[in-house]
Structure 1
Amino acid sequence: MIKDTKQLKVLILLSLFLFFILTSFTNDDDPPKSSFKFKTVVIDAGHGGKDPGAHGSYSFEKNVTLAIAKKVERLLKKDMQDVNVVMTRTTDKFVELNKRAEIANQINANLFISIHCNSSPEGTAKIAHKEKGVMLLVYGFHRKEEQIEALRENSAIYIEKDYKKNYAGYDEKDPASMIILNTFMQKYRKQSVLFGDLLNDQFKNNDDRKSRGVKEQGLLVLAHSAMPAVLIETGYINNASEEKYLNSEDGQNAIAASIVRAIKIYRKEINAR
């Protein structure tokens, strides 16, 4: 008989640990090949509504991400007409993090792409050598020094009315919570990293963008996505030159085109397996 929640948590962790060990000794790192019949992509415009996200001197992340997401949607419908494109939001609306992943899970999406803007600690202050460039985040084990991006994105859950219920008391400082979330996404890690690498190549080689590469972070919006998933930090909105690029038609079109090119290559590689 389980006497307290601490014992229950230990049992859950032991069960997850055994599951991880057993699956590690099989060739089940990849989902079944049938899941690679690439049919549906979910495009998630980060933040929205009462959650503005990061900001620059004149713009908010929520508006930039929505503009880019809509351009990706239009390009996909034009260039990949056999692919179903689903948006988590199409207006300035706040969508809870678990709902975003739930949308993708309910339709058995093959790929989840969350679009965001980055921001460095100094805000809009003018300093030399300000951070710039793209960064691709996939869900995975992260070291202590890598938690800053995860904490910034995950902080959105505390805006939600029922966050304790929706995330079962999620606490980024609780190792037990992180073990549960990390185990959840192990099966799709390889595909997420593959797509992240493809995006990175497109941004660097076609758009000549500086990149911080593909990093693994404990981002909650990715942890709840039961499919390969990548969060794209499209640039530093608090950097004046980056903010101008992110808000321009040319910049947004270039970002959207790189995302769609990466999706085409990803589908080809996955379907060939």
Structure 2
Amino acid sequence: MFKLYLDPGHGGSDTGATGNGLQEKDLTLDIALRIRDLLERDFQDVDVRMSRTDDVDRSLSDRSSDANNWGADYFLSIHINGFDGSAQGYEDYIYSGLSDSSQTAQYRDIMHEEITSVNELSNRGKQKANFHVLRETSMPALLTENGFIDNTNDAEKMQDSNWLQTVAEGHVNGLARAFNLQRSEQDEDQDQDNDTVYRVIVDGTQEGAYREHQNILNAVSRNLGQADSIVIERV
């Protein structure tokens, strides 16, 4: 049984970053719930525990202690970035005291590759930090920053439920690959070719790269009314 502790950042009186009419706490919860639902629907022997499932206050020490006491195999914290409106893109963090050859870093490398292959955000790279939830958890831990809420381009994506679903799927793809999760029998029948990645190229520029067929269709639908050319290409 793979035990995932899933942590939607902020909540309650702590809104997190804000911008463009959005609040980080709402987006992190939305993405995390989608991750949970995908894992529970599509995979065998996965147990997901969340630090919160609604808009409540939860201290950092509560989150790390809860994960430690539960005996989680992996701690995944979902966040949205903010700066001054000029920065944009995706980045993720492991604890600053770990080496690049550590098990946590190896899991991070897989997660980073899978998430950035589908999230349509500029890649700001793999980072390290002394964040509480990375330092005080006793299992491998990763914190993902899924775009900048105060950047107009990133925020436009955050308002699209299809994009939020794609981001969740990127995280799930990473977890499945890093921890060798087995798909449920009915899901194997439906998605037997799910390892194949397809690029969606709009007017000569790659719009995204997707494994899930529905994400390919969503990308085509988003651009159908305005593009002169849409090409789907197997990677």
TM-score bin, normalised by smaller chain: 0.7 to 0.9
Q: Which residue of 1 aligns with 2:172?
A: 260
Q: Which residue of 2 aligns with 1:24?
A: none
Q: Which residue of 1 aligns with 2:132?
A: 220
- Secondary structure of 2:54's partner? coil
TM-score (norm 1): 0.63
Residue type matched to 1:110 in 2? D
Distance, in Å, in 1 between the alignment partners of 2:116 and 2:47 is: 27
Matches within 5 A, 1:43-192: 43-120=6-83, 122-123=84-85, 130-141=86-97, 186=98, 190-192=102-104
Contact persistence 2:74–2:140 (CA under 8 A): yes
Contact persistence 2:10–2:57 (CA under 8 A): yes
Distance, in Å, in 1 between the alignment partners of 2:119 and 2:149 is: 18
Deviation at 1:206, TM superposition (A): 3.2
Distance, in Å, in 2 between the alignment partners of 1:188 and 1:200 is: 13
Contact persistence 2:39–2:172 (CA under 8 A): yes
Runs of 4+ in 1 over 6 A off after TM superposition: none
- Secondary structure of 1:93's partner? coil
Residue type matched to 1:140 in 2? S
- Secondary structure of 1:89's partner? coil
Deviation at 1:102, TM superposition (A): 1.1
Q: Which residue of 2 aligns with 1:8?
A: none
Contact persistence 2:119–2:163 (CA under 8 A): no
* Structure whose residues are more often strand by fraction: 2
Distance, in Å, in 1 between the alignment partners of 2:121 and 2:75 is: 23
Deviations 1:98-152 (A, max 9, x none): 11111111111000000000111x25xxxxxx321110100114xxxxxxxxxxx
Q: Which residue of 2 aligns with 1:199?
A: 111
Contact persistence 1:97–1:220 (CA under 8 A): yes
Q: 1:196 to 1:205 in 2, by over 3 A?
A: same
Deviates more, 1:240-249 or 1:205-214: 205-214
Distance, in Å, in 2 between the alignment partners of 1:106 and 1:53 is: 26
Q: 1:252 to 1:59 in 2, by over 3 A?
A: same
Distance, in Å, in 1 between the alignment partners of 2:55 and 2:100 is: 30
Deviations 1:25-66 (A, max 9, x none): xxxxxxxxxxxxx52001100000011000012011000000
* Structure with bigger gyration radius: 1
Deviation at 1:268, TM superposition (A): 2.3
Contact persistence 1:188–1:228 (CA under 8 A): no
* Structure whose residues are more often helix by fraction: 1
Deviation at 1:246, TM superposition (A): 1.8
- Identity among equivalent pairs (%): 30
| Unmatched segments (≥5 aa) in structure 1 | 1-37, 124-129, 142-185
RMSD: 1.9
Deviations 1:181-218 (A, max 9, x none): xxxxx599822212221122113323443111111101
| Unmatched segments (≥5 aa) in structure 2 | 182-235
TM-score (norm 2): 0.72
Residue type matched to 2:163 in 1? G
Contact persistence 2:111–2:178 (CA under 8 A): no
